[in-house]
Amino acid sequence: MKKTIVAALTVATIAGSLVTATPSAKAGDNIGAGIAAGLIGGAIVGGAIASSRPAYGGPVYVAEPAPPPPPCYWQRQRYWDGYGWVIRPVRVCY
């Protein structure tokens, strides 16, 4: 709802500044007034947006933390690699 109102207000401000800034027979008369109206309208809309309360979403699902990982340790194991026995460290978790 707030976004719709802010969007409508922004469109109205921009349309008002464009109507004011349309050149007439004398090109230099209304340009300054159009620029001033656009700046003032932008300041009003910007102030309204900045002073509005932030829109927070609804409640959020938060999962329980995962259980701690199982304790692990390093163990030296030997295996046959096809040529001979090799000993290497292996991480064992239970």
Q: Could you state, in order of their start, the residue ranges of all structural domains in the chain?
A: 2-51
Whole-number pLDDT of residue 52? 78
Give the three-state DSSP class for 94: coil
- Residues in the chain, pLDDT under 50: 21
Among residues 11, 14, 21, 10, which one has the least CA distance to residue 46?
10
Give the three-state DSSP class for 85: strand
C-alpha 22: how far from its chain's center? 37
DSSP letter for each residue of 49-67:
HHHSPP---S----PPPPP
30 touches 23 (CB < 8 A):
yes
